[in-house]
Structure 1
Amino acid sequence: MTRVARPHTLTFGRPVPDAEPDPDGRWRLTWTGTAVMGILNVTPDSFSDGGKHAALDTALHAARRMRDAGVLILDIGGESTRPGADPVPAHTELDRLLPVIRALAGEGVVLSVDTMKPEVAAGALRAGAHLINDVTGLRDPEMVRVCAEAGAPACVMHMQGEPRTMQKNPVYADVVAEVHGFLRAQAARVLAAGVPDVLLDPGIGFGKTLEHNLALLRATHALTAGPHPVLIAASRKRLIDYLAGVPDAAQRDPGSLAIHLHAARQGAALVRAHDAAGHVQALRVQAALEP
């Protein structure tokens, strides 16, 4: 069977790298097949690379290496959302994020900010970020307002509970129906409120057991069949340890790649990865091998 790589579009309310203006005064970023969102954690306590990029020079070096490797989007995080993580004040998060965003603005890569706080999102967008990645799925109306007013699309992710407690006892009657239903309904709500576009993320590892995660990954095609681009973000997550016996998160890149190649074959628009260069390479080879 011949598989045709699907084109994807993400619409912005202001200029972004490599996007083209449309007659409605918006900017459309288009690509074909599965692109990579590279992870840049500028936190001291992220689950696999905490502290590695906390200094500005090391963060910028890592960001530019990912850009040069061919990532489409760089996702910068200033607060850990690992299971059990405690929140940090908005000013601390901004102190970590803003120097990196300001230094990278204008360097030819779309900048996403991984935050749950509207005030952090607003500050990051003013500093030059383009996209908001909200693990709470834009449940806060203030986050919706911030994105709408800035013309910034958002990644709507599903999470049951909140980071400190989400893995204690997640329960679903039908995890695929419930997660996909939430994502579609939330997308409709935020678009109606003026957010220019959305990515959908089923939230692998966020309030899900191993069985829940596997069910969602196997059903990726059902989500990608809809009108919105889908992001799959399984990089270095605990399910890889459960499946392959890899307790050290930094050693889970092969398992991450296996999941993300599966997601690409299922039509995912983006995969979010720590090993961004490795993912770009593997996805290019997989795309060339498709008949």
Structure 2
Amino acid sequence: MQTFKTKIMGVVNANEDSFFYKSRFQDKSAIEHIEKLINDGADIIDLGGVSSRPGSEAVSVEEELRRLKPILDLIYQQKLFEKATFSLDSYEPEVLRYALDCGFKIVNDITGLANDEVCKVSAEYNAQVVIMHMQSNPQDMQLNPTYEDVVKEVDSFFKQRVEKAKSFGIDDIVLDVGIGFGKNLEHNLLLLKNLEYFKHFGYELLIGASRKSMIDMVVSSTIEERLPGTLAIHSESITNGASIIRCHDVKEHYQAIKVQEAIKNINS
């Protein structure tokens, strides 16, 4: 089975609603933070203009583009896309097109290619696409999410959306089980424990559990106190087959991953 190099995806939010305040930036400060994340070891920068935390409110396409355009323009002008791979966390075709014109290479779609127009834009630019599973939507996804078998249901969703992606000519695919997106603690833990199961698709697996509330459900902790739990989840995820780790704390993840790789690669 194919193995993939572990990559760190650093999070940058261009809004005032994302659950972790230290990931929120605007205009020039966003560029400074992006450069820091790259220096800290980020392979990928994931930029988003709309929060997808539980209970977050949707915004118009115009508002999303208004938040992102100054940052996208600076990334393009400074050719930062030559220093790292850039991903846009969005499911709006117009916004995605603007980012792809600015040197972005990845479409990170939390709706898992629900919109045919996102498929068309992604195929047109030959972008890599992250298909994420989410039950319901950010406004109500955490209101008593239920599954008969969460692993099998997420697997079935991936099968359907991979087929859809291929029908539009999209071949470069990443799968994300969507930790915290319409799942309770048990669902999240089962998906993490059985992550290797999803390797049968042959695609890279992305995990993003950075500072999420599931950590607080295991050990009572504020968002600011959840870095150790984050590192534990992401380290276990790599062991179980993940190759892209989406996180806020790039420097700490870089060190943890390098140490983990050194242990794994030492000759016995």
Q: In structure 1, give the amino acid aligned to 2:223.
A: A
Q: Distance in 2 between matches of 1:76 and 1:260?
A: 20
Cα distance between partner residues in 1 of 2:24 and 2:161: 33
Deviations, residues 232-282 of structure 1 (Å, cap 9, x unaligned): 110111100001111x21321111110000001112110100001111111
**Residue equivalent to 2:230:** 256
Unaligned runs of 5+ in 2: none
Alignment match, 1:273 = 247
Partner of 2:15: 43
AA of the residue aligned to 1:85: S
C-alpha separation between the residues in 1 aligned to 2:251 and 2:152? 34
**Deviations 1:208-252, CA, capped at 9 Å, x for gaps:** 011100100000111134310000110111100001111x21321
Farther off after superposition, 156-165 or 101-110: 101-110
TM-score scaled by length of structure 2: 0.93
Aligned mates of 2:200, 2:42 — CA distance in 1: 24
**How far apart, CA to CA, are the structure 2 residues paired with 1:131 and 1:280?**
21
Give the CA deviation at 1:42. 1.1
Residue 64 of structure 1, aligned match among 35, 41, 63: 35
What is the alpha-carbon root mean square deviation over aligned residues?
1.6
Give the counterpart letter for 2:18 in structure 1.
S
Provide the residue aligned with 1:74 in structure 2: 45
Contact in 2 for aligned 1:102/1:128 (Cα 8 Å): no
After superposing the two structures, state which structure 1 stretch, 138-147 or 179-188, moved more.
179-188
Q: Which residue of structure 1 aligns with residue 57 of structure 2? A: 86
Amino acid at match of 1:69: D
Q: Would the aligned equivalents of 2:106 and 2:128 in 1 still touch at CA under 8 Å?
A: yes
Comparing 266-275 with 90-99, which one deviates more in the overlay?
90-99
Query: What aligned pairs does 1:138-177 form with structure 2 within 5 A after superposition?
Result: 138-177=113-152
Question: How far off is 1:98 after superposition?
Answer: 2.2
TM-score by length of 1: 0.86
- For 2:188, the aligned partner's letter is N
Q: Which residue of 1 aligns with 2:71?
A: 100
Partner of 1:179: 154
Q: Tell me, what secondary structure is at the counterpart of 2:120?
A: helix
Alignment deviations for residues 168-220 of structure 1 (CA, whole Å, 9 cap, x no partner): 02111100000022113311220231124111000000000111001000001
> What letter is aligned with 2:103?
G
Match of 1:188 among 163, 181, 192: 163
CA distance in 2, matches of 1:58, 1:73: 18
After TM superposition, the structure 1 = structure 2 runs for residues 3-18 of structure 1, keeping only pairs within 5 Å, are 7-8=3-4
- Structure 1 CA distance for aligned equivalents of residues 70 and 171 of structure 2: 26
Hey, what's the Cα distance between the residues in 1 that align with 2:26 and 2:42?
A: 22
Q: Count residues with an aligned counterpart.
A: 261
What SS is found at the alignment partner of 1:230?
Answer: strand
Q: What are the superposed Cα offsets for residues 95-150 of structure 1, whole Å, 9 maximum, x if unpaired?
A: 22222223223221111000121221122212222111010000111111111111
Structure 1 runs not aligned, ≥5 long = 9-31
